Structure 1
Amino acid sequence: MTISRLDLKVFKPELLGSSNEAGGQRTKNAVQSGLLNELFSAISDIDHAQSSIDIVKAFPALDTPDTSTLIDAHVFISEPPIDPLVNVFMIESAALDDESRMTDMKEIIESSVTAGELIREGGPGFLVNQNSFSSDYLQSSYRFNDRDYWKTTYLQVGQVICITVEYPGIENVAWPRKTHFCKVTRTSIVPGAVGTVVFEPPIPFATPEPGLQINGQSKCTRLRLSNTASPLKFHGVTKLTAAASGVSLAVGATQLSLLPAITTLAPKPGNTITGGSDNGDATVSQVIRKVISQPSAQGTYSYTFTTADLLIDTDVVTAVSTDPYGVFGGSSALVQSITVGTGNVTVTLRPDVRFAYNPTVSLYYVSAYKYSIYSSASAFPANKQLTVGSIKARAVFADSNYVPQDVFENVNSGIGKLYDTTELLATIDYFTGVVTKQTVSRGDFTLTYSGLVESTAAAAAGDTTAKFALSVANPLLESFYVQVERISDHAIISASSDNQGVITGSGISGTIVDGLVELLFTNPVDLTTLRYDITDQLRQLPPAEIYGLNPLRIPNDGIVDMFRRWGTVALSHTQVQQVTGSVGTVFTIRENAQFVNITDANGASLWTTNNDHFTVNKVAGTVTINSDFTGFTAPFVLSDTIMELGLVSSFSGNSVVLAKPLAREYPVGTTLASVQILGDLQARVGSVRDMTAWANNWDLDGDPATGNVNAVDYPFEVKNTTAVNEDWVLIMTSASAFRCVGRRLGQIATGDTLNDFAPINPLTNSPYFIIRSGAWGGGWQQGEAIRFATFAASNPIMLLRNVQVGHSQITTDKAVLSFFGNES
């Protein structure tokens, strides 16, 4: 039969709302066209004051009384809410099925963060509401070549870890298996010393002590790192900020906020860029690296930088580093090679590097004008000091049973402290280069080192430029204020930034771009005296108890990509005009509009398959009125929508690049939406097979039964209007009787081989499927079974609406979900 727009429907689930039982199977209750908000509850004053999250499930379906096929069915949000505080988008997951309830959907959303690598088994026995543990538990031992070694895991503030209760066998009632995700908020861990790790939120349950045995196993409390690998796809919608007709689209955003959040301000005054102190004492500085940047391009992996003052690194001291600035996951791990030439450095990135917004590639290097390289094999130079953070050392023990160790510098101490993975080995005076060895358990040792040295006084010439990264992740640009001492007369000069990152002041100018500060000084300055104030904007997510979603299990603070490379997008633009029910009147629309409709004041559509009220000529771009619109409520609105699909080749902060140019031009304000592809929608029956016994194992078939069923001449019957996605088993209770069990639905009916079997779906009052009596052969034995699956002409989708904190003047708002496909 011919498929019309009336056959494409979005059905509601068994239960709407926010309870744990919400969701479930598809019903025959369709969402009225133009009333997607039927799925969501109204936004209340509390929602605006506190923020809110609503998760709903729906079933786009081909609703025909046969098995017609809708090819490559797809859905997208063609119009976002007008209210900027409201976001509506779809979350795609293979784990979402017809039976999924609210608890399942929340677990799907949290599935991106899971318990990961084991730090240590035999963790402490935690008490209820405990929020700290000794750093001793970050150490674990292993044995190699008949010797014991210790490994220490170092945690960072903000890192998510897991506390789990794990053991084999049947779950213990007193100590159920649980996992607690928490974020490290403080860590006083120093190599060779004992500290404390503080985390939040506190653990809400107790865990067993290391010596307590459960099912024969001790050390059941375990500390684990967390894994972040999202299996989800997010489908959002944005607007074009400029007209588009080619492959490059300027858009409002390419990311969306999964969770509502509030922003708090945290002032951070007195920051330095050299590690100096404020007490007037002689100070040592950390390495100041110069930065050269150049624009990058997708598909370009080799970049050459001219560096007349590059310090040639012959003693394996860190003199050169790189940052593919603006690259996703920007890190030296993305660098394939660095080649130092004469007066230049060539950086080659890995071929899989994908650039983010405002992409540049930057070279950070140590200037030969300021530094030189010193090795402890030489006499310490006069009027020089070591530079914090540059020391590379090696300890060789007199006892050959101990292998040589790399030595690490503690860069946060005025007196340098040198550690290996086990203990403090020595201290170092940055001004004299003198090493004072400590007494250690492994006996005497020889320590050699190399590092950068610089003048003990500010360079006479001073510096006329500075480039450094801000010490906060989300700076409030207008809060930036900088002071520095001028070389010539020791006067303090200052400057501040506006909200666009433009820095102006007395003798200072510059910019702040993506957290990187570039300063230009009219006269040379002493950078060791530079101090700046900045305010961090902290994004705070709602606690898990408010919405039942744990923010620690949402990666990237809930900021997710709404597009993806190789993802399909839909551009659509709708224009409207008011019309009247005057027979014969012709209205002009855009040629070859994809979708044309007339709706009344209540949103009811006047479109019919017989063109009772209007006729559309898409090629000519006209709509002819055929009736006086009796039975509908004025005013009437004629809308025409131009639309096309595209493939994303790349995207960044405010740009999406398509694989092919657009077929026509789209104006500013056109919606660009990520498309969720549902696939071909058609009710059908999977392979029918029999087995000698049913052991309640849905993942494994058994040996063939003695009886037989003829599903070729008497195929099992389904319809698009009634079939569901389910695995079925018919279990013989005698030679002719059986019971029917669904994997998710449980037992739904009993039947026999003598009559047609048509079990009724109570949600639709129609059969799930029909098995004709002629399909049954003889020879069936009690306990034998028949298995098959049915597939619905629908797939479930999950929509999420969040409301950010704030007050809105918009009293009526909606989002539009578009559902398309092609006839077979």
Structure 2
Amino acid sequence: INGDFAKGTVDVEFGVVDVKFGELVDAIGKESEEWFDSNAVVDGKIWQPRHVFADSVMYNAFAYSSLPINSQIIKIDTVRLPQNGKVPIFRRGDSILISNSKTQDLGSAFQGGQTVNLSRNDVDRICLKDSNDKPINAQLWDYDLEAGTITWATPLDLSSYQMPIIATHSQEERNRVLEVDISGQLKLLEPVMRDYPLEDTYVSSLLIGDNLQVRHSIPFTQRNWDGVWRDEPQGEQLLNRLNLTDYPMTLTDDGAITQDWLIKFTSASQFEVYGDTLGYVGQFDILTDLAPINPATSKPYFTINKSAFGGSAGQSASWASHDVIRFKTWGTLMPVWILCSAQPTNKVQKGTDGFKYCFYGDTTEV
């Protein structure tokens, strides 16, 4: 509230109004007034209150009601959802990303070895696409983030792309939220590294994935499987084991997933592989390396050397039908739930609505 003789605030969620009547006047000459307080003088001004009758104050108010949401439909507990549909995305201590992105038409004529200057230097990320939004193969160009340039490879073949080439370059940095104000203002822990223009600059929330590394548990064996995915053996246990000491299991970032695995023997040399969420994966044998393929990446979920099963040509590996090997693998994928909430309205939607998400991380190649 900011009127000529009234100032204050309204808490629309709880219906609480805090308003004071009066105006700012020059403090000089008001020292004898009963309401004068020298500590309240700011830049030579002081608030002079005005007395009003309570029954002369009028206001308009609107009440909102919402339809109940079925928890069974949206699959989450609606008790935790705010009534106004707004969910806080910034909290004290959260990590955020400040980003400003610009697009630039680079043209249609390029030569191998040519260096192209972007419209600004000191950028943190560059992306090249053709006019059909098809990404340009990273092997065809190199970049200098500090100088704000890209250099085309030699030889250069862009015949599979539709001209012109569009560059998207971004200036961005991560920071931490120190305080969150109800007005929407954020107080940051560290000063920003550069001045960002107001246009096309956004503050985004971040989900921290921590350290992600492929790994597996120690396999165990048992005589039969009771259909329950446990982390320890049940019932009769076997003396036979996978020899992963001499023949370690191999996992890669682009193939491994988080999964409980079951190797179930159907004979002395053949077995079936199951995953707790994948179900039946395939039938294999101990005469070849076990490397079930992840269809999403065309890479093995894991690889177990055939020698890890024991035995060799002409010798028995001591496995029998219904013998079971159980273990777990963990991939580097971080599961994220994305939930979009749309409020009911009689207005016709105009244009499109959506969002972008981007993955950031430090990787180590071994």
Determine which of 637, 645, 660 is the counterpart of 2:174: 645
Measure the CA separation in 2 of the matches of 1:523 and 1:566.
Answer: 43
2:366 equivalent to 1:823: no
2:188 corresponds, among 658, 678, 682, to 658
In the aligned structure 1, how far is the partner of 2:308 from the partner of 2:239?
15
Deviation string, structure 1 residues 75-131 (Cα, Å, up to 9, x no partner): xxxxxxxxxxxxxxxxxxxxxxxxxxxxxxxxxxxxxxxxxxxxxxxxxxxxxxxxx
Within 2, Cα distance between the matches of 1:526 and 1:813?
49
Task: State yes or no: 1:743 paired with 2:239.
Answer: no
Deviation of 1:784 (Å)? 4.3
Aligned to 1:676: 207
Q: 1:813 and 1:525 mapped to 2: Cα distance?
A: 48
Query: CA 1:749–1:603 in 2, change beyond 3 Å: closer, same or farther?
Result: closer
Deviations 1:60-84 (A, max 9, x none): xxxxxxxxxxxxxxxxxxxxxxxxx
Shift of 1:541: 4.8
The one of 146, 149, 165 equivalent to 1:636 is: 165
In structure 1, how many angstroms separate the alpha carbons of the residues matched to 2:265 and 2:167?
A: 59
Please state how far the C-alpha of 1:659 moved relative to its aligned partner.
Answer: 1.9
Counterpart residue number, 1:566: 93
Determine the C-alpha separation between the residues in 2 that align with 1:781 and 1:585.
65
Match of 2:128 among 578, 598, 602: 598
- State the secondary structure of the residue aligned to 1:663: coil
Structure 1 residues 229-240: aligned runs within 5 Å:
none
- In structure 1, distance between residues paired with 2:152 and 2:271: 59
Paired position in structure 2 for 1:514: 10
Whether the 8 Å contact between 1:597 and 1:607 is mirrored in structure 2 is: no
CA deviation digits over 1:580-634, x for unaligned, max 9?
22444642443331112332221123352242xxx42223333456669544323
The 1:512–1:551 alpha-carbon spacing in structure 2 relative to 1, beyond 3 Å, is farther
Give the corresponding residue for 1:775: 308
What SS does structure 2 have at the residue aligned with 1:609? helix
Higher strand content, 1 or 2:
1
Name the structure 1 match of 2:225. 694
1:700 positional shift: 4.2
Cα distance in 2 between the residues matched to 1:624 and 1:738: 53
Look up the equivalent residue of 2:126 and give its one-letter code.
V
Contact 2:225 2:324 survives alignment (8 Å): yes
Partners of 2:337 and 2:51 lie apart in 1 by 60
- Other-structure match for 2:43: none
1:544 aligns with 2:66: no
2:335 is aligned with 1:796: yes
Kindly indicate whether the alpha-carbon contact (under 8 Å) linking 1:650 and 1:656 is maintained by their aligned counterparts in 2.
yes
- Indicate conservation of the 8 Å contact 2:117/2:149, yes or no: yes
Please tell me whether residue 730 in structure 1 is matched to residue 263 in structure 2: yes
Equivalent-residue separation in structure 1 for 2:280 and 2:152 (angstroms): 54
Segments of structure 2 that go 5 or more residues without pairing to the other structure are: 12-16, 23-48, 311-316
Classify the secondary structure of the residue corresponding to 1:561. coil
Whole-angstrom distance in 2 between the partners of 1:747 and 1:786: 15
Contact 1:726 1:791 survives alignment (8 Å): yes
Q: Please report how far the alpha carbon of residue 726 of structure 1 lies from its aligned counterpart in structure 2 after TM superposition.
A: 0.6
Alpha-carbon distance, 1:562 to partner: 0.8
Over 3 Å counting, the alpha-carbon distance change for 1:605 and 1:764 in structure 2 is closer
The higher radius of gyration belongs to 1
8 A contact 1:649–1:657 mirrored in 2: yes
Shift of 1:803: 4.7
State the Cα RMSD in Å.
3.5
2:277 is aligned with what amino acid? R
The one of the two structures with greater contact order (alpha-carbon pairs below 8 A, sep at least 6) is 1
Distance apart, 1:651 and its partner CA:
1.5
Residues paired across the two proteins, number: 315
Q: Give the secondary structure class of the aligned counterpart of 2:82.
A: helix
Instruction: Answer yes or no: is the 8 Å Cα contact 2:125–2:145 preserved in 1.
Output: no
Give the deviation of 1:526 after TM superposition: 5.7
TM-superposed deviation, 1:573? 0.8
CA distance in 1, matches of 2:298, 2:127: 32
1:622 aligns with 2:152: no
| Structure 1 residues not aligned, in runs of 5+ | 1-500
Amino acid at match of 2:60: I
Q: Match of 1:502?
A: 2
Mapping 1:193-208, distance limit 5 Å: none
SS for the counterpart of 1:571 is: strand
Closer, same or farther: CA 754–708 of 1 in aligned 2, 3 Å: same
Question: What are the within-5 Å matches in structure 2 for residues 101-112 of structure 1?
Answer: none
Q: In structure 2, what is the equivalent of residue 711 of structure 1?
A: 244
Q: Hey, what's the Cα distance between the residues in 2 that align with 1:524 and 1:664?
A: 49
> Following TM superposition, by how much is the alpha carbon of 1:570 offset from its aligned partner in structure 2, in angstroms?
1.1
Q: Does the 8 Å CA contact 2:259/2:330 hold for their aligned counterparts?
A: yes
SS at match of 2:307: helix
Q: Is the 8 A contact 2:176 2:188 kept in 1?
A: yes
User: Matched residues in 2 for 1:553 and 1:535: separation?
Assistant: 26
| 1:138-537 equivalences in 2 (<5 Å) | 501-503=1-3, 509-515=5-11, 516-520=17-21, 527=54, 529=55, 532-537=58-63
> Counterparts of 1:44-83 in structure 2 under 5 Å?
none
CA distance in structure 2 between the aligned counterparts of 1:610 and 1:764, rounded to whole angstroms: 23
Report percent identity of matched pairs.
25
- The within-5 A match list for 1:11-90 is none
Q: Distance in 2 between matches of 1:766 and 1:625?
A: 31
Cα deviation, 1:446-479, whole Å, max 9, x if unaligned, reads: xxxxxxxxxxxxxxxxxxxxxxxxxxxxxxxxxx
